Each structure stands twice: as C-alpha cells, then as structure tokens.
Amino acid sequence: MTMAHEPPPGKTQVAVVGRRTPMVLSVARSLREGLSRGASVTVPDAPKSVHLKSATDAQNAHLTFWDDRIVVSADGSTAPDVTWSVQWTDPAKGITESEGAPAELSYFAKEVAHVLSGRDISWDDAAQAFWARVHDLAGVPSPLSVTCSDGSKELVLGTATSASVGYRIHGTAASLVRFFEGRSLIIDELATGELTIDGGLAGFSGLYGANVKVVCGER
C-alpha cells in the first residue's frame, strides 16, 4: 500500500528544469508563493506527475511532485497522472476534480489548486507591492495613478520628475489585483474591458515589460 506524507512547512523546494518558458516560470512562481504562505501538497511516496496545458497557446508545464521537491519543466518525460487545461498566468483556475476520479486524486487536485492560488489582497496593497518590485525598471512610467471603479478611490505611485511622463490606470478591484499580482497580462485585462489605460506607447511598453517580469517571478 502506498503511504502518503506531508512535508514539513517551508521544506518543499521548487526547481525549474530545462526550457524556461513564460508558463514554466509563472507556474514555478505561483508554487513558491503558495508554499511561502504555508500551503502544502500531501504526496504519495512515489512521484506524481501533473500536466498543465495552456488554454490559450501551445505552452505546457509538467509538474513532478516527489518527497520534498516539485520539479517544473516545459517537456514531460512520463505519462502524467492528470492533465488540466489552465490559464497559464493563473493556473489554479483551471484545476478541477475529474468526475469519477479516485478520492486520492480529487484531494490532490484541491491541494495543488490551493498552492497555486493567489493570495487574498486588496487592490491598493497589490498596487503598492507591484510598485515596490518594478519602480526602478527602465521605462516604467512615474507617477502611476491608479483609480478603482469600485468606489472611485485613487492611488498615486511614484513622483514626477523632469524626465518622467505620468500614466493612468483605471479598473475594477478584481482586474487591478490580477494585473498587479501578476495573475494576468495587461493586454488580456485590456481585452476584457475591466481595465483601461491613459498614456503614451512608451509608458505602456514599460508597464508591459514590468508586468511580464512579475508574472514570471523575475521581480
């Protein structure tokens, strides 16, 4: 009989192997953040493989859970125990229990989704955390004025300088959290209509670059 165990809090390590695609880096970031908040996955005493397939493009992330280690790679070498089609910037949303699946697998799915889920945070705290990560990147516009349509509260990040051109972002609380927390790309948020921007192309380019770095865990 295969026994299961839960690694001690903070012990599980996440390793990226092979091609460092945006999806691989994003999934690895989400795993590390979830584990740092105390989430964990109870795994059997044998490797368990998960295939996360992007629902929007050809990217893949293969996760191998084994003892105190989670390995994330773009290419899988073994048949996965389960495959989920997910939004690669926020993979927890696509993880579901398969109808008729063994109880052990259903429980495993819930734990994986919990580890990958984003933290519960207000939009303004998320905005300030984002600014702390990226304000020193070249091209990021300053000041960055953020207005939430749910209550019309405004937050101004950074200060104006003689060489800076300000930028404005307006959106729902949910869209602002997704963007600032790196759970979506700014182009996807603009496509939903929940987020709008007011500024020039240079500022957008700087914001997009910063957004991608946060999504991929590089900031």
pLDDT at 173: 96
Domain hosting 145: range is 123-215
Res. 213: pLDDT tops 70: yes
Instruction: Quick: pLDDT tens for 20-53.
Output: 999 999 999 999 999 999 998 886 667 888 999 9
Structure confidence at residue 5 (pLDDT): 42
Q: Which residues, other chains included, contact 60 with Cβ-Cβ below 8 Å and sequence gap of 6+?
A: 23, 51, 52, 53, 54, 74, 75, 76
Beta-carbon contacts of residue 112 (< 8 Å; ≥ 6 apart): 41, 50, 63, 95
Question: Tens digits of per-residue pLDDT, 154-196?
Answer: 999 998 765 667 899 999 999 999 999 999 999 999 999 999 9
Mean of pLDDT values over 139-158? 92
Task: Please say which residue of 84, 116, 148 terminates a domain.
Answer: 116
* Same domain, residue pair 109 and 12: yes
Backbone angles phi, psi at 139, to 5 degrees: 95, -15
As for how many domains the chain has, the answer is 2
Domain final residue pick, 116, 136, 165: 116
Q: Are residues 182 and 92 in the same domain?
A: no
Distances (CA, A) of 79 to 33, 93, 151, 162: 27, 23, 49, 57
